Chain A
């Protein structure tokens, strides 16, 4: 790869780091703030991606579309739809104990995936949706990448600012009170279930937005564009490693893990095919191993939350 190609790739990697950072921020609201174990991140990501793609993309025979809405509208819709889906799921599943919530969210993500694959009239089925408009897409390639990177970074900064404000607001303090001692918080009449639902919905909206940014980056979205398990897992380890409960930690974790993941992909792609395939699984193994190691040796992550070690959940040992 020549220098220009390498630079473009580097920018691409950074853009994706931003997108993952957004997901990590969303997960932080759910896990870091309220101890909710959402194992179905990929589902909300997909909802956002498809929502924006359908609303902003071109018309195609046999599929709902052709609304040709402006891109920002698509992104707002992505957030709204992800939030809308999170609401009933949250109402049903949030009062379950965390393991059951994990299973339920895994199920939700699977159902979303199934639906996306099957309902051709809505999502284009296995072929997906192409021709998704890309902001600044008409610029020369390198400039377009830079512009999109700037856009994504802007979104991340805004999201970060908003999440920080939420964190330090009375709402945020209440959330942490609920997380750390639910019984006491409930006794104080803090409408625990309602708060948890809010956190779940908010976090999901951010994940939906990340999905939309992804779809517009690639100008398309298909059911296999991401490996749901890997994406879900990467975001989790980003948050745990970075320091859950902590927005800065979420972003740092996203950057670090994504860089490691991408660079390792770059390194192994150059190997002969058979070895490259093995290397892909080896990397998956290492990611799983990394989670065990972080849980064991550095459960507070790189940037631990100021006063507490790590979020405890509603079930204490």
Chain B
């Protein structure tokens, strides 16, 4: 295999998948950091976002990319609703119960999606899209370029929000030291709501990008759950930069694994990495929290 093949059939797909995982991992790490539990419904929230985009595009005839912001808003709303009904009352009890509740939420969200759209895979647009060659080396489709662009923009906007705004700082403070944040007058409930809005939006974006690059089906998010968690933990829980790094590593590892293991075990790559991280460096590459 030559370099051209390597770049275009392994490296770029790995980075593409990795950047989608990165978006998912950012959401998971935010929930870990601020709400302090493993959000097992994260994958199915991705699925919900992807299908909401599909639904909006179908209803309004909009280009799916324009349906995305609407889907992001709707998923944010769903996240708030789910928190208010399923997680809020468990706040004072052992965290493991919230994790359990989130597994139930995963099942419920998936069931809703299946009731609404069935289980057959579908796509945002039909037809084969040919990639264009850039600079003589890179084969990229438009949607792949836009995916990279979307991820970069979203991460940049989020970072700016977290570093430059009052509420972004409040979120970081709450992730860092929730008791001290309270002493500074930060309303924990408002930060929690804000977190769910952001997580919902990120899930919708990740689900949409995953769907537009592969296909949209009811189990898509559940399948992505393990790699996303592996990415968040690998990078370092509670760190956005860790989530991005972890996502890229996992994406690349999955795509490159086919060079060494049979293709069916591609999805096992993330799990093996996760186990290794938990065994040898549980705080991850960038030294995240120990929760």
Contact = CB atoms under 8 A, between A and B. Distances in A.
B181 interface: no
Which 3 residue pairs are nearest across A and B when measured between Cβ atoms? Answer: A99-B38, A288-B108, A285-B111
Interface of B: 37-38, 40, 85-86, 89-90, 92-97, 99-101, 103-108, 110-112, 114-115, 118, 222, 225-226, 229, 233, 262, 264-265, 267-268, 271, 274-275, 278-279, 282, 291
| Majority-rule SS of A interface residues | helix
A111 B291 contact: no
Interface in A89-108: 92-93, 96-100, 102-104, 106-108
| Majority-rule SS of B interface residues | helix
Interface string A100-123: 101110111011001001100000
Nearest to A312: B94
Contact of B105 (A103, A288, A313, A315): A288
Interface of A: 35, 37, 39, 92-93, 96-100, 102-104, 106-108, 110-111, 114, 117-118, 229, 233, 236, 240, 277-278, 281-282, 284-285, 287-289, 291-292, 295-296, 299, 312-313, 315-317
A287 B106 CA distance: 11
Given A107-B226, A114-B265, A285-B108, A292 B96 contact: no
A122 to B, nearest CB: 14
18 contacts: A37-B96, A37-B100, A96-B278, A102-B99, A106-B40, A111-B268, A117-B264, A236-B100, A285-B115, A288-B106, A289-B108, A291-B103, A292-B86, A295-B90, A295-B97, A295-B101, A296-B89, A317-B93
> Most chain-A Cβ atoms within 10 A of its Cβ — which of B107, B118, B264?
B107
A281 B115 contact: yes
B115 A278 contact: yes
Given A98-B99, A110-B267, A291-B101, 12 more contacts: A96-B278, A100-B38, A103-B40, A107-B226, A107-B275, A111-B271, A118-B264, A233-B104, A284-B110, A291-B103, A315-B94, A317-B94
Nearest to A89: B275
